[in-house]
Chain A
Amino acid sequence: MSTLDIRIDHDVIASWVAEGARVLDLGCGDGELLRYLKDKRGASGYGVEIDVERVIAGMKNGINVLQIDLEEGLYDFEDQSFDLVIISNALQTLHRTEKLLREMLRVGREAVVSFPNFAYWKHRVAIMDGHMPVSDRLPFQWYDTPNVRFFTVADFEALCDKLGIAVRERLVLDDAGKPVTEEHNFLGSFALYRLG
């Protein structure tokens, strides 16, 4: 994600976080988001990260980081022990999508998911041209991408529907970070959902 995207992502998520909320941030990276929510919203909680370099970065950032493999699920975490469970720009890097979404709402009262939209029109054009898309939102070549699940805004909503997960709020952004108001699955390159 570009710096702009990160800022928008964090601002939107912060607006969905109640003052003093207990937050679990899955795939927390260097802990920037959790740090931001702590400073901005007085949130507390933990980040979960698998990569040791990022665990160290998160600790430098002064957040609680737990080095846990999300593919194992969230078995350590108690039911409804967090106000919000976030997975920001990381769901596409994990295999057990369904299990994780269910787990997020077992552990948290609400969940926030943000992800790049593979059906964004520029990505479609790339495929039409015969190549896997590489863009600001998908900044990886097919042979070195951390992404293992390739899904779209329409796919994600269908899965939420199947799992009986209610979409409370949705924000779909275009390449410039502007909200998309129509044809989300075509015009939007990044999506944020508040679920629960």
Chain B
Amino acid sequence: MANDFPLSSGSVGVVAPLSARFDTPLTLKSGAVLPGFELMYETYGTLNGARSNAVLVCPALSGHHHAAGVHADAPNNTGWWDNLIGPGKPLDTSKFFVVSINNLGGCHGSTGPVSANPDTGRPWGADFPIVTVEDWMAAQALLADRLGVDSWAAIIGGSLGGMQAMAWAIHRPARVRHAIVIASAPKLTAQNIAFNEVARQAIITDPDFHGGHFYEHDTLPRRGLRLARMLGHITYQSDDLMAEKFGRRLREGGRKFSFEVEFEVESYLRYQGDKFAASFDANTYLLATRALDYFDPAGDAGGDLAAAFAPATADFLLVSFSTDWRFAPARSREIVDALMRNRRNVSYAEIESSAGHDSFLLDDPHYHAVLRAYFDNITV
């Protein structure tokens, strides 16, 4: 692909987001019905004649469709999983046709709280129905139909993205041959739900939230989103990594005996919080954290995770990271265990990393070697 931007080798280059409109009503797990919707996505590589080389990339909490390459109008805005996806990279676009999606309820073009509610003509805001991981999967399946993909060679996702890969394997077993579940869990723990609740409360109690209809007030709950993201950032990293990155370093010389930004870590958190608050929708954040809370395939199968995975026919790869305390290795082992009980093909790697949950976005050599080895063995 020709481009004028200085991209690292192995980049998919300049990509353009696509959108697909669906006018058939979608009944959600809650019972609510979306009359129609739009999904934003990007594709990298070429679908082969047999339509057997498609890989679906499922986004995590704050992810979207722009996973690789750059947009012509934003040459510095590289996709969020660009280190993984591209020609010659572990998810090799010269072999695979990669589809990356922005889920329902998102804030990057797919139908979500920012979109107009057809009943009122005004943004959905807080009235947008609660969407679940299974609802996302159902919408993704409609996009797969549209693209002519009967069966995905693989579905890959980290964290909340891994949950979508599991949902496919359980509910659409004939349509996924390999499920790659990274830094994920079969369900959230109480502690995890608690973190989500604090994040939601930060947003909901922000006076600028206006019960979720802040668009009409021409404002946004910046403080709430900022706090939610700051909290998230703390939990996505490890104690060790924060010690390594910031320690107790002060920005300037000594203590000022104030509550201003003094420690490096405070400055970092505020920066991350501000950046996020300026670019992400508060209602989408609420929806996505709820989708995380609700995901519980075992709960839907009488409490037995092995029973939940009984319909699955895919081969699995599970990856966890040693310092990820939000989606700890033990949680991935629960999934491995349930899959072994079903005699599924499953491989599992527990990568040594100091970076906590965020490790799944980084390019640790062992981590990427594991993914490369796995993808290389997928026949298309």
Contacts and interface: CB of A to CB of B under 8 A. Distances in A.
Interface of A: 22, 44, 46, 52-53, 55-56, 58-60, 62, 64-68, 76-78, 81
Contacts of B369: 56
Nearest to B315: A64
Interface string B365-380: 0100110011011000
Given A76-B337, A78-B341, A60 B349 contact: no
Contacts, number: 53
Given A46-B346, A68-B348, A68-B350, 12 more contacts: A22-B343, A55-B349, A56-B369, A56-B370, A59-B370, A60-B376, A60-B377, A64-B345, A65-B347, A66-B347, A78-B340, A81-B340
B333 to A, nearest CB: 6
Nearest to A57: B373
Contacts of A53: 366
Given A46-B340, A76-B333, A78-B341, A52 B346 contact: no
14 contacts: A44-B343, A46-B346, A52-B349, A52-B366, A53-B366, A55-B370, A56-B369, A59-B374, A64-B347, A65-B347, A65-B348, A66-B347, A67-B348, A78-B340
3 closest cross-chain pairs (CB), A and B: A59-B373, A66-B348, A60-B373
Interface residues of B, number: 21
Chain A interface, DSSP helix/strand/loop, else mixed? mixed
B350 A67 contact: yes
B271 to A, nearest CB: 34
A67 B116 CA distance: 48
Contacts of A56: 349, 366, 369-370, 373
Interface string B304-343: 0000000000000000000000000000010011001101
Contacts of A64: 345-347
